[in-house]
C-alpha cells in the first residue's frame, strides 16, 4: 500500500468531516458533533484551521486537523484538534506518517510546543503518544463554556 501525506485542500473537507464523525462514534459522542460541513468550509477558507490528510489509491484514510494557538509560558503552540485514521488502515504506519508530518509542520510554523488532548480510556492513542516521547499530563482539568 502506498500512502501519501499532503496538506489538505477545500476539496478534502467532506472526507475530513466524515473522519471527525467516525472519531465521535469511536468516542461514543456522535451527537456532540454540531458543526456542519458548511462551518468547515467557511472556517477553512478563513484560515481558522489547517489539516493534512493521508491517502491511498486516491482515498482519504486519515487526517490531522490543527491550528495555531499561544502559550503565555512557551510562545507559539500548534494545537492538534483531531487525529484520525480509519480503523481498517491502522497498523500500516499511517498514523506515524501523519504524526511525523504534523511535527514538521509545527516546526515550520515556528511552534515551540505541540499540544492535544486524549481521553483517559483511549489506551491505543496513549500508547502511540508515549512511543513518540510525548508527555501525558494528568493534573489539568478541561474547562468548557458552550454558547
Residues sharing a CB contact under 8 Å with residue 127, sequence separation 6 or more, in sequence order: none
**129 flagged as catalytic:** yes
CA terminus-to-terminus distance, the chain: 44
The answer to whether the beta carbons of residues 93 and 3 sit under 8 Å apart is: yes
Residues sharing a CB contact under 8 Å with residue 128, sequence separation 6 or more, in sequence order: 95, 99
Catalytic annotation, pick one of 40, 86, 129, 141: 129
Residues belonging to the active site:
129
Amino acid at each position: 500500500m502506498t500512502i501519501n501525506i499532503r496538506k489538505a485542500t477545500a476539496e478534502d473537507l467532506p472526507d475530513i468531516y466524515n473522519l471527525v464523525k467516525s472519531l465521535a462514534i469511536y468516542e461514543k459522542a456522535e451527537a456532540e458533533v454540531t458543526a456542519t460541513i458548511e462551518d468547515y468550509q467557511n472556517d477553512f477558507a478563513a484560515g481558522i484551521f489547517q489539516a493534512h490528510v493521508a491517502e491511498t489509491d486516491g482515498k482519504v484514510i486519515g487526517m490531522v486537523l490543527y491550528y495555531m494557538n499561544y502559550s503565555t509560558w512557551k510562545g507559539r503552540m500548534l494545537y492538534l484538534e483531531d487525529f484520525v485514521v480509519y480503523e481498517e488502515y491502522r497498523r500500516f504506519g499511517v498514523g506515524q506518517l501523519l504524526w511525523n508530518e504534523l511535527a514538521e509542520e509545527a516546526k515550520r510554523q515556528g511552534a515551540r510546543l505541540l499540544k492535544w488532548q486524549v481521553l483517559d480510556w483511549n489506551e491505543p492513542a496513549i500508547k502511540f503518544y508515549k512511543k513518540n516521547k510525548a508527555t501525558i499530563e494528568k493534573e489539568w482539568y478541561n474547562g468548557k463554556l458552550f454558547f
